[in-house]
Amino acid sequence: MEGTRPIATFALVGSSAIVTGAARGIGYEIARQLMAAGSDVLVYDIDGPGAEAAATTLTQEVPGRRALAFEGDVADEQAMRNAFDVATAALGLPKILVNNAGINDLRPLVRLSVDEWRRLFDVIAMGTFLGTREMARRFMEHDVRGGAIVSTSSLNFVIPTVGYAHYCSAKAAVSQFTKAAALELAPLGIRVNAIAPGLTMTPLAGSFFAERPEIPAAFVERTPLNRVGETSDIAKVAVFLASEAAGWITGITVHVDGGAHLVGLPDSWALMAGPLGLPEPTPSDWLSTP
């Protein structure tokens, strides 16, 4: 009957959350929006002082909610366990996890070192795996059901560009892992989804782009909605995916890019190598002298 259909609720699936890479940028805004929606948040970041500053500001900005800082590397298995221990003791068992921590640099494939490839995969792909696995284990240990995991992928998971072979590959791993994890964790009532942002104006990006307006302009030219993204654009989708309103959504990567995935990306190397002072690679970059 018409009157028996439920009204949509955007209440979060839980009142305790962990957000990695939350000291600044997209992660910070996701933490802020989750708090505004009713969750306490563990601000997990490798930058300890940055995490402390972010947690202090967030707690002041969102009355009635609490942000707690945690310093750790998401690629460190013990650190991830410790983060869940701290969050559970102080805020309650986290039922929301946002795997947002990431790093990136512009580097041609032939110049990439093994250590650089591994470190980027450790932070983006390993960090996502460790956080997801830890949350699932906690749910099983405590016989809990009903949670949400949201991971930050990238438009680069489907659209490659020169200079980002390592980054494109790691983000593709996040999106494919999201599908596999969604299948395995469905019996626990944990929904697993990802967000693929387009070019987003974080404070760090903003300072660089202010000096090089031609770079964001090139992205806007390929964005049907005709603007660069804001951190709030990404955070609002994360909150939705962590809410009851997304209760029948799992295993997807949502494009939050103003439609850029319909058009494509500009050549990042051609746009940014010069401004970043990166020369074209030559064999001297990797050949050692006997």
Of 28, 44, 164, 167, the catalytic one is 167
For the question of residue 167 being annotated catalytic, the response is: yes
Q: What is the distance between the alpha carbons of residues 178 and 196, in angstroms, rounded to a whole number?
A: 12
Q: What is the distance between the alpha carbons of residues 241 and 247, in angstroms, rounded to a whole number?
A: 8
* Number of other CB atoms surrounding residue 107 within 10 Å: 21
Q: What is the distance between the alpha carbons of residues 111 and 48, in angstroms, rounded to a whole number?
A: 31
Three-class DSSP category at 182:
helix
The answer for residues whose C-beta is within 8 angstroms of residue 259's C-beta and 6 or more apart is 223, 224, 225
Question: What ranges in the chain are assigned the alpha helix state H?
Answer: 25-36, 48-61, 77-91, 114-121, 127-141, 165-185, 203-211, 214-221, 231-241, 268-272
Q: Which residue in 80, 82, 33 sits closest to 58, CA to CA?
A: 33
The answer for residues whose C-beta is within 8 angstroms of residue 157's C-beta and 6 or more apart is 168, 171, 172, 174, 175, 196, 253
CB-hemisphere CA count at 13 Å for 196?
24
| Cα-based angle 191, 193, 199 (whole degrees, multiple of 5) | 160
Q: What is the distance between the alpha carbons of residues 232 and 147, in angstroms, rounded to a whole number?
A: 22
The residues annotated with a catalytic role in the active site are 167
